[in-house]
């Protein structure tokens, strides 16, 4: 029987409006009682608590959810970056009639607050003025508790990326331990994971009809607490899908493994006993595929995974196998005497629904309460347009798939063009340059499986690893057409592409690469090969460096034909699971041979629930069947080794040479120390290193009005004129910071 991705029972724009729609849309969702009074509201139906500054723009979660609920007829207030030390700030808008919606913000709060070396960041791009310290650690948890203190009988609904990534028992890098599901620690009523438009609208309408929050257990993309598996469900242990334990002999296949006494008899049999000496066949279990929509997979309990890294990796693997909305089953995980139940992932939004969400009446600027204070995250995206959601790349270190899913959700050309026109006509400071048309990946727009039936049945974690799937349609023609329409708009001088490019897809369409290189590169194009060596690349699920070489040839060819001097900016990750010291040495040699000097270095950051994080914690590879005997993964955990891996990426910095000399000597590669072209670092050490990174050279001086913005090639801008040519009659032009 053919299967396909399930269809939503109701489109977002088909719900009957709540009675408060008579108030109409607000210029901004109110953040104070005074604003509520001006709108004529006596109360809010929903109050959203967020760790970010309130920017009324569709790149900010609180704006999308707030405007969507407003369009459904609800009165929505915003409590932004509240003082979490007491309940007072959580009471300033009064008691919400329906629920508190709680989110940490556009980032996991721990990643927002700490570097990959666990050092506190001094800044926060989502805060006015860019200042740090405006949100607590694990903000969703703290905000939920304060909401409960403020109004104990008001339901608390968790959402956002922090909730998505912490919905199950998860490894916490900052405490170096496995923590409970966020739902348990926060004591919230329900958790919405992924892009939660469908779920939040359904929850709001059902609560407004008088349904208790405890009865809402059938919405996709939600997690909630229950005591037992309800009647009518078939419970399947996750170890039957992917057995993690030691296997010494074959157990009678007809034994009911849920019957512990029968299992004990079977296990007690000696290896030479046959199976017909009195062991009774208990029953034949029903085949779970026949009841997939009524099957729940039981993951190892929290008490098991917190002390057993192999079981943790197993649970992570099973969870990732159940992420396709076309075939995913419900999951359940025991926490003490309660179960946390996870319904299957949300159904992707249709193009019409995406247009509806992005066409809501956003003001497109920060709330007036912030005055002239700059919000760096807003400055970065105010002239950019999000054209799609999702990513089927499956990179193990990335959390996009866990949150947005792997099925691409696209907007229509008309919707995107209308947003560009709004930016042109309404956004202050527009100079004619659109800084990005993109999303999680620049060139996955309208790329999907050739067959809906195959897509719905697929359980592969990536459509492009180890190679591009033969069922993937790699046609870039719709994206090319969009680019052409956008740059032909009156008042638009330039359309830049700043989102990361999937170059292994791009090379499948030379016409796309030519279009991109000829018209949409602002001197530099960033791409992310991440590494050159097979060991780490296979653990990342990234293509080999040969794909980068093919794209580079195309890029240089079309740049030359267009008469433009343009450069690729490759990004690499240090200390990723599966990376050895030799791998980093070989990457450094590749960088030197190709004339690259990495300016900004990215070290692996174990984000909650990512597959690579499971590797980091367990030393096992969840991309394959996990057992106690399965091969291990090289893990970089010690501070010294992490510094070494970063130093290899910045081999050109004299400050790193002492560490690299020692490491190369210990590795038996002292032949790479010297002044030859084939050698990595010199034998001499300058008394005083005058090295200053290009990033720092290009940064705005402290104290200036534009402080905090780094004007480097990473913003899509060419390097600053340093004035080096003054007095010589020549312009002060210098080479790009990333090339030797």
Q: Per-residue DSSP letters for 311-372?
A: HHHHHHHHHHHT--TTT--EEEEEETTEEEEEPPPPPPPPHHHHHHHHTS----SB-GGGTT
> Which of 279, 286, 274 shows the shortest CA–CA distance to 255?
279
Q: How far is CA 433 from CA 421, 500, 521, 523, 586, in A?
A: 12, 18, 12, 14, 39
Strand order in the sheet with 295-299: 76-80, 46-50, 99-103, 156-158, 190-192, 222-226, 338-342, 330-335, 295-299, 234-237
Annotated binding residues for [4Fe-4S] cluster, written as ranges, equal: 391, 395, 398
Annotated binding residues, written as ranges, equal: 391, 395, 398
Please give the Cα distance from 323 to 345 (Å, whole number): 6
- 300, 314 Cβ separation under 8 angstroms: yes
Please give the Cα distance from 336 to 690 (Å, whole number): 57
Phi, psi of 494 (to 5 degrees): -155, 140
Q: Count the helices and strands in the chain (H runs, E runs).
A: 25, 23
Tokens of 391: 């990513």
The separation between the first and the last C-alpha atoms of the chain, rounded to the nearest angstrom, is 59
Sign of CA dihedral 54, 136, 391, 288: negative
The partner residues of 287 in beta bridges, in order of sequence, read: none
The partner residues of 50 in beta bridges, in order of sequence, read: 80, 103
Please give the Cα distance from 86 to 282 (Å, whole number): 58
- 355, 34 Cβ separation under 8 angstroms: no
The partner residues of 225 in beta bridges, in order of sequence, read: 340
Beta-carbon contacts of residue 494 (< 8 Å; ≥ 6 apart)? 432, 433, 434, 487, 522
What is the distance, to the nearest Å, from the Cα of residue 647 to the centroid of all Cα atoms in its chain?
Answer: 27
């Amino acid at each position: 029987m053919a299967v396909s991705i399930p269809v939503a029972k109701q489109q977002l724009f088909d719900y009957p409006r709540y009675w408060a729609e008579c108030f109409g849309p607000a210029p901004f969702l109110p953040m104070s009682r005074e604003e509520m009074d001006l709108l004529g509201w006596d109360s809010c139906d929903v109050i959203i608590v967020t760790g970010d500054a309130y920017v009324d723009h569709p790149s900010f979660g609180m704006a999308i959810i707030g405007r969507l609920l407003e369009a459904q007829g609800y009165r929505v207030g915003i409590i932004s970056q509240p003082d979490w030390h007491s309940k007072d700030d959580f009471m300033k808008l009064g008691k919400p009639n329906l629920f508190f919606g709680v989110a940490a913000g556009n980032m996991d709060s721990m990643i927002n607050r700490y570097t990959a070396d666990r050092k506190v960041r001094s800044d926060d791009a989502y805060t006015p003025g860019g200042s740090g310290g405006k949100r607590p650690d694990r903000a969703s948890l703290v905000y939920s508790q304060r909401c409960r203190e403020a109004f104990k009988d008001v339901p608390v609904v968790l959402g956002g990326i922090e909730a998505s990534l912490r919905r199950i028992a998860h490894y916490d890098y900052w405490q170096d331990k496995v923590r409970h599901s966020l739902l348990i620690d926060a004591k919230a009523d329900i958790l919405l994971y992924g892009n939660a438009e469908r779920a939040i609208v359904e929850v709001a309408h059902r609560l407004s009809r008088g349904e208790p929050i405890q009865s809402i257990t059938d919405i996709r993309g939600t997690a909630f607490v229950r005591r037992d598996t309800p009647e009518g469900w078939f419970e399947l242990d996750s170890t039957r899908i992917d057995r993690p334990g030691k296997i010494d002999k074959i157990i009678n296949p007809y034994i009911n493994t849920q019957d512990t006494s029968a299992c004990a008899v079977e296990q007690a049999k000696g290896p030479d006993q046959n199976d017909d000496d009195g062991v009774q066949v208990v029953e034949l279990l029903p085949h779970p595929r026949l009841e997939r929509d009524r099957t729940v997979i039981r993951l190892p309990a929290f008490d098991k995974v917190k002390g057993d890294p192999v079981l943790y990796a197993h649970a992570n693997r099973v969870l990732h196998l159940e992420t396709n909305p076309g075939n995913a089953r419900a999951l359940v995980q025991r926490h003490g005497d309660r179960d946390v139940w996870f319904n299957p992932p949300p159904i992707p939004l249709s193009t019409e629904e995406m247009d509806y969400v992005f066409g809501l009446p956003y003001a497109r600027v920060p709330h007036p309460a912030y005055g002239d204070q700059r919000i760096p995250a807003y400055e970065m995206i105010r002239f950019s347009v999000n054209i799609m959601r999702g990513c089927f790349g499956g990179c193990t270190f990335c959390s996009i798939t866990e949150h947005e899913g792997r099925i691409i959700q696209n907007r229509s050309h008309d919707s995107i063009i209308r947003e560009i026109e709004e930016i042109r006509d309404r956004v202050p400071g527009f100079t004619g340059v659109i800084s990005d048309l993109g999303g999680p990946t620049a060139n996955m727009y309208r790329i999907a499986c050739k067959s809906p039936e195959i897509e719905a049945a697929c359980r592969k974690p990536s459509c492009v690893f180890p190679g591009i799937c033969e069922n993937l349609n790699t046609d870039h023609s719709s994206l090319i057409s969009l680019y052409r329409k956008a740059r032909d708009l009156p008042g638009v001088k330039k359309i830049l592409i700043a989102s990361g490019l999937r170059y292994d897809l791009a090379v499948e369409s030379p016409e796309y690469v030519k279009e991109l290189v000829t018209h949409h590169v602002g001197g530099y194009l960033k791409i992310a090969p991440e590494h050159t060596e097979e060991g780490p690349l296979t653990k990342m699920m990234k293509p080999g460096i040969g794909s980068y070489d093919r794209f580079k040839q195309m890029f240089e060819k079309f740049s030359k034909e267009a008469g433009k001097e343009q450069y690729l900016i490759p990004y690499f990750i240090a200390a990723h699971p599966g990376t050895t010291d030799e791998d980093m040495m070989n990457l450094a040699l590749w960088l030197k041979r190709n004339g690259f000097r990495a300016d900004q270095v990215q070290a692996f950051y174990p984000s909650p629930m990512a597959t690579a994080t499971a590797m980091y914690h367990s030393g096992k590879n969840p991309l394959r069947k996990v057992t106690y005997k399965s091969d291990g993964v090289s893990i970089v955990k010690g501070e010294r080794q992490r510094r070494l891996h970063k130093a290899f990426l910045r081999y050109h910095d004299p400050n790193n040479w002492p560490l690299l000399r020692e490491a190369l000597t210990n590795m038996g590669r002292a032949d790479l120390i010297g002044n030859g072209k084939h050698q990595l670092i010199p034998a001499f050490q300058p008394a005083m290193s005058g090295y200053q990174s290009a990033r720092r050279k290009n940064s705005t001086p402290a104290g200036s009005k534009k402080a905090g913005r780094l004007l480097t090639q990473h913003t899509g801008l060419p390097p600053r004129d340093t004035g080096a040519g003054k007095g010589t009659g020549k312009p002060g032009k210098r080479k790009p910071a990333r090339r030797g």
